[in-house]
Amino acid sequence: MKQFVRLLVASTFLLFSFTFAQTQGVHLSWNDKDETSTKMAITWWGSKLNEGMVMYGTDDRLSHSQKAISHFSYKGKVNIYKATLTQLKPNTIYYYKCGSAEEGWSNVYRFRTAPATGSQDKFVVGVWGDTQDNEFNTHFEQTDTIVQQLQRYPIQFTIHMGDIVNAGPVAAKWEGFFRCAQPVNAIAPFMHVPGNHDVSNNAADSGFQKPFPVYYEFINLPGRAINYSFNYGNTHFVAVNSGQSEKDAAVATNFAYAKRSLEYRWLEDDLSKARKDKNIKWIILYLHHPLYSFGWSQVDGWHERLAPLLDKYKVDLCLAGHRHVYERHTAIRNDQMLPQKDDHIYQHPAGTVYITNGSAGGQPTGTGGSDMPSMVYTSKVKMYNFAIMMIEGNSIRYDVYDNHGVKIDYFKLIK
């Protein structure tokens, strides 16, 4: 009888907790390019309109608080809360929870702020893309296996190369992704670019190449969140929106990144400043469509518009998704492949190293192609994959894993 009562109390407690655990989709991001060491943005949603709050501090007393701004998402039927913590100390661990007394609080999570710009200290980045909920991943069940793997590494933030969801206009898809990714996104800022599934692909639409309105409700990145950059330690990260697909690019006249367009001038200015910055050793650019890739994923429009800028400003590493394979190329400059002595080591390359690193959930679509001269590595079997990138001083170490944690490739980039 005693056991039955205990069980009943435990069940009631669990039910009570579940009923009030309405704070969902917690994710971190940086929404100010120069402030990764002193700011942190926190986004979540709940079912009731309350005064949302973040309680935070450098220990578990969480003695500071920051009110969130909130708005009701008509598509998502939830209240979305966004708060930005400011005046944080660089390279410091903070603890936080978010929510409200009325609706309930999230778990207590922790994050570390970036070191001061120019720091040569080691940091670790999770790299993923194409988490889209298509075949075999309709409930993000494959993405969940990647989320579990990412939690095994001491990542400071993740970069995501787009196609976050399969149907960008549908709020429930975004909610599904952010629920699935919360264990990683709540401890490591989620810094992504949109893919073709996340933006409007209708060339006749005034919002062509831009994310759907619901995207902006859930996202909290610098500016309007489709082209931005930020510094972390000695590295400048540049996020380029290459959303639309080749088919649409072929008929559109209003391309993003056409020469002399607003985006093109922004990117040139951004890369030029980063290259002159004494604190910046590495420039890593990430976008959805690969600029060099085997087969149908090679989108000539993007290659023609962007590759010359990467050449001119000596971008070190270019990471892409879209094609659901893992591919690695030699360093390339002016469309010329630069041979290397060791397949796994890029020693002072005079060009950009190009990687395609999809998919973290979307259905694997092929096995790459070995007959492209610049291809150093291409996966032999269909698989889900992600990467862990360690940057320390003059070297970048990039390890690629499948969703079971088996290492499938690695390389070092040394200056």
Residue nearest to Fe ion (CB): 322
Name residues contacting Fe ion, limited to 238-257 (CB under 5 A): none
Residue number, 35 or 163, with CB nearest to Fe ion: 163
Binding residue for Fe ion (CB under 5 A) from 322, 324, 328, 329?
A: 322
Element housing 191 (H / E): strand 190-192
Binding residue for Fe ion (CB under 5 A) from 115, 126, 129, 195?
A: 195
Told to check if 358 binds Fe ion by CB under 5 A, we report no
What is the closest distance, in whole angstroms, from the C-beta atom of residue 161 to Fe ion in the complex?
9
Q: What track of x and - describes contact with Fe ion for positions 267 through 306 (by CB under 5 A)?
A: ----------------------------------------
Residue number, 79 or 244, with CB nearest to Fe ion: 244
Please count the residues of the chain.
Answer: 415
The torsion of the CA quartet 273, 274, 278, 284, rounded to 10 degrees, works out to: -170
Beta bridge partners of 46: 79
Stretch touching Fe ion by CB under 5 A, among 75-83, 209-217, 248-256, 319-327:
319-327
Element housing 249 (H / E): helix 246-251
Name residues contacting Fe ion, limited to 131-170 (CB under 5 A): 163
Told to check if 196 binds Fe ion by CB under 5 A, we report yes
| 165 SS3 class | coil
Counting residues that bind Fe ion (by CB under 5 A) gives 4
What is the closest distance, in whole angstroms, from the C-beta atom of residue 360 to Fe ion in the complex?
12
Residue number, 196 or 293, with CB nearest to Fe ion: 196
Stretch touching Fe ion by CB under 5 A, among 55-63, 201-209, 277-285, 316-324:
316-324
Residue number, 173 or 322, with CB nearest to Fe ion: 322
Q: Give the count of beta carbons closer than 10 Å to the beta carbon of residue 159.
A: 22
Told to check if 126 binds Fe ion by CB under 5 A, we report no
Residue number, 83 or 249, with CB nearest to Fe ion: 249
Residues at the contact surface with Fe ion, assessed by CB under 5 A: 163, 195-196, 322
